[in-house]
Amino acid sequence: MRHRRVDDEVDHPLLPSRDPFMECPADIATLSPGALIRSRSVDLALFGSVRQRVQAWQLLYRSTDLRGMPEAAVTTVVLPVGASPQAGRPLLLFQSAIDAVTERCAPSYSLRYGARASGSITRLEWPLIAYALKRGWAVSIADHGGRMGSFGAPREPGYRTLDGARAALSFAPLGLQHRAKIAVWGYSGGGMASSWAVEMAPGYAPELDIVGAVLGAPVGDPGEVLLRLDGGRFAAFPLMVIAALRRLYPALGEAIEAAVSPQGKVLLARAEKLPPITALLRMSGLRIDDYLSRPLDQILAEPGVRAVLDDIRLGLNAPRCPLLVLQPLNDQVIHCDGVDRQVERYRRADVHVTYVRDRLSDHFSLMPLSAAFSLSWLTDRIEHKPLSAPDTRTVWSLNANSSGLRGLAGIAGTALAVAVGRPLGTSNLESPRTEFDSAA
């Protein structure tokens, strides 16, 4: 029987590469995308130590890699504790800002009780996921980077996310309807993965009822970001992207191998093993040129490598669902102009985009500050409320009104609950206004 349950009772979970649950079946090519292979219940924890009072399972399922080959992928699916069957329960696809190559940062590992994953951004995002659970939603958190931690890769984050949704819809304990409404949400690296999910959905998973997506600081053009961040405070990000993509693209791998110094090889190997927060601290200010025999911009200008950068650019495939794109105007990691162009590409393809740029936030603060607003916009899509006309607004703050401040208070209350391991329950949360008459 293909679908079997595996219970995990160890205090410290095995890394994915050592975990028998993650083994790919020999007959995976015979399965359809999203077919469930096996499941298990798991304990989730804040920072690996504070058990969370939720119902959680991991689903292993068939998905597709960058080359179109079948693979096994995993998602962590969560319900509020004590949730009873609910006919209209929606499914939120939350794409974490994994932003790493190391398997320790995969959500299937880093969110579990007893996991050793210090420096993982995913752990910091758990209160945002919990806030969605308080609405009574089911949540799917796929390992969208795959087993190899392919940070920055195109398309396959979308495949893994969408196939995770297919697996979740077929998983009886979640009690979801076959045509459950699906919302998509992610920020930064999660916004990039969410972009791939909605871009791939029309051709790869047209049967899924995706009603809307919130893309927070969704990168736009990873190649541009790579060059801009090199040598700065966030130099670890381009190092990790190069470390990941050189294994997927022979042209890039050969160009780097021909030019990199022995010290540079050590640096790239270290980038593959470090979680993002640790890498940012240790690699701040490093210049890739210092480890190459010729300048990085020359390597990236080679036709074969240029094709790689073109391949990872977002906005070249048209989503079918409406989008809310959120971007700090003074983002120190992902420049606003790259996201501007991603939005322009979507609009040229007649995608409905509401684009909001926030003056007062930076890259790191907008993620929690936009959570209540993002979930309220998604709630409106789930409830089929009318969409306002697509537009671009630059506001002082998403929360510059009383309902926005109450939304922040709700996020703070949820963070406190998860910090002490209290049951989340469900509640009818007041939605911040998604119009900007008092925030512009």
The whole-number pLDDT of residue 309 equals 95
**CATH code, 227:** 1.10.260.130
Question: What predicted TM-score, i.e. pTM, was given to this entire model?
Answer: 0.94
In this structure, are 213 and 86 located in the same domain?
yes
In this structure, are 39 and 137 located in the same domain?
yes
In this structure, are 31 and 51 located in the same domain?
yes
In this structure, are 85 and 14 located in the same domain?
yes
Q: Per-residue pLDDT for 130 more than 50?
A: yes
Give 385's DSSP letter: P
Give the full edge-to-edge strand order of the sheet including 181-187: 4-5, 36-41, 54-64, 70-80, 138-142, 91-95, 181-187, 209-216, 323-328, 353-358, 392-395
In this structure, are 58 and 159 located in the same domain?
yes
Q: Could you give the number of structural domains in the chain?
A: 2
Q: Per-residue pLDDT for 40 more than 90?
A: yes
In this structure, are 147 and 291 located in the same domain?
no
- Quickly state the pLDDT bin for 81 (edges 50, 70, 90): confident
The whole-number pLDDT of residue 432 equals 55
Half-sphere exposure (Cβ direction) of 420: Cα atoms closer than 13 Å: 6
The whole-number pLDDT of residue 30 equals 98
In this structure, are 174 and 254 located in the same domain?
no
Measured CA to CA, the distance from residue 347 to residue 345 in angstroms comes to 5
pLDDT for 219-237, tens place per residue?
999 999 999 999 999 999 9
Supply the range of the domain harboring residue 144. Answer: 4-221+399-419
Q: 270 with 242: CB under 8 angstroms?
A: no
The whole-number pLDDT of residue 435 equals 57
Collapsed DSSP state (helix, strand, coil) of residue 27: coil
Half-sphere exposure (Cβ direction) of 127: Cα atoms closer than 13 Å: 20
Q: Per-residue pLDDT for 437 more than 50?
A: no
- Quickly state the pLDDT bin for 399 (edges 50, 70, 90): confident
**CATH code, 148:** 3.40.50.1820
Q: 318 in a domain, yes or no?
A: no
Q: Per-residue pLDDT for 343 more than 50?
A: yes
Q: By mean pLDDT, which of 7-11, 274-278, 347-351 is the weakest?
A: 7-11
In this structure, are 258 and 270 located in the same domain?
yes
Measured CA to CA, the distance from residue 384 to residue 375 in angstroms comes to 14
Q: By mean pLDDT, which of 9-13, 72-76, 156-160, 261-265 is the weakest?
A: 9-13
In this structure, are 155 and 291 located in the same domain?
no
In this structure, are 133 and 168 located in the same domain?
yes
How do strand 392-395 and strand 353-358 relate by DSSP bridges? parallel
pLDDT for 280-339, tens place per residue?
999 999 999 999 999 999 999 999 999 999 999 999 999 999 999 999 999 999 999 999
Number of helices (H) and strands (E), helices first, in the chain? Answer: 15, 13
In this structure, are 97 and 191 located in the same domain?
yes
Q: In this prediction, what percent of the chain has a pLDDT beyond 70? A: 93
